[in-house]
Amino acid sequence: MHKCQYCGNTFSRHSTLTKHQNKAQYCKSLRLDHEVNLLRNKQMMQSVQHAPHPSHIPHNYINPELVTVELERTKTELQQLRQEREADLNKLTELINSINNNQKTPVVQNMEPVSVAHIEAMALEYLDIADIEKGLEGIVDFTIKYPLYGRLLCTDKSRKKFKYTDESGNIINDYGGTKLSKTVFEGIQNRYIELIDQKYAMLANNIKTAVDNNKGYEDSVLDNMKQSTHLQELKYDLIDAAQGSENDLQKGYIRKLVGHY
């Protein structure tokens, strides 16, 4: 058997003893205490054997070896304390999230469902050209004010986790908002494409009129062309997102939606 000279624990193998002395925090602390005492004793012996005249010893003299050992022990103790505090904080955060989720469950059960049909109806009534011109921000504003109002909870902003009920009454825990965004884009798709096509036709007409009047060189024509290109890109991104694609439009929507909670 192999006994630890610092803490007194015994081990069947020397390699296990060595590993214990290198990694066990309480044993490392005891070892540092032991080394400090040895250095102190060594210093005392040296002072007796080679004692200079008291007038030759600076009043503020500090043994550098002793300081190094003391600093190492303090560093080890602080690291251990920090690890313990981080573990306690993680446990507390998990407990708070668990309590919040349990408290929100009855609330979610009483909320109206998030469904494609409801979003389609709200889009037909409230989604307009002004929302299209705002781009992604317009989509977020519309969904918060109308189809998702009072029907959605964000239970964890850092993980982008949403909680709501579907049209069958099931409680949905949506990590990352992928299910929610697909439902939203599928619901607004037809109306959004209709508005984009209207806006695109208007811009195309403005460009044609300018060219017919020999004003195709004006900055306004270039601006209209840029807007037309952007609208077409937005249109196809929306179609992909409605099919469940996690493209830039989908990710941007969830990121901005979380920011409103």
Q: Give 127-153 pLDDT, tens digit per residue.
A: 998 998 888 999 999 999 999 999 999
Q: Tell me the backbone φ, ψ of residue 110, rounded to 5 degrees.
A: -95, 0
| Cα–Cα nearest to 143, from 127, 157, 158 | 127
Task: Identify the band that residue 173 occupies on the pLDDT scale cut at 50, 70 and 90.
Answer: very high
pLDDT on residue 188: 97
Amino acid occupying residue 188: I
Arithmetic mean of pLDDT over the chain: 81
| Cα–Cα nearest to 215, from 206, 226, 228 | 206
pLDDT on residue 95: 62
Query: What number is the average pLDDT over the span 46-65?
Result: 53
- DSSP H helices, 110-155, are 116-126, 129-133, 136-145
Task: Give Cα 2 distance to the centre of its chain.
Answer: 48
Query: Using the 8-state DSSP alphabet, how is residue 56 labeled?
Result: G
Proportion of the chain above pLDDT 70, given as a percent:
77
pLDDT on residue 216: 67
Proportion of the chain above pLDDT 90, given as a percent:
39
pLDDT on residue 83: 82
Tokens of 38: 């040895």
Query: What number is the average pLDDT over the span 77-106?
Result: 69
Task: Identify the band that residue 48 occupies on the pLDDT scale cut at 50, 70 and 90.
Answer: very low
Q: Give 191-248 pLDDT, tens digit per residue.
A: 999 999 999 999 889 888 888 888 767 778 888 888 889 889 999 999 999 999 999 9
Q: Give 153-163 pLDDT, tens digit per residue.
A: 998 998 999 99
Q: Is the pTM value of this prediction over 0.75?
A: no
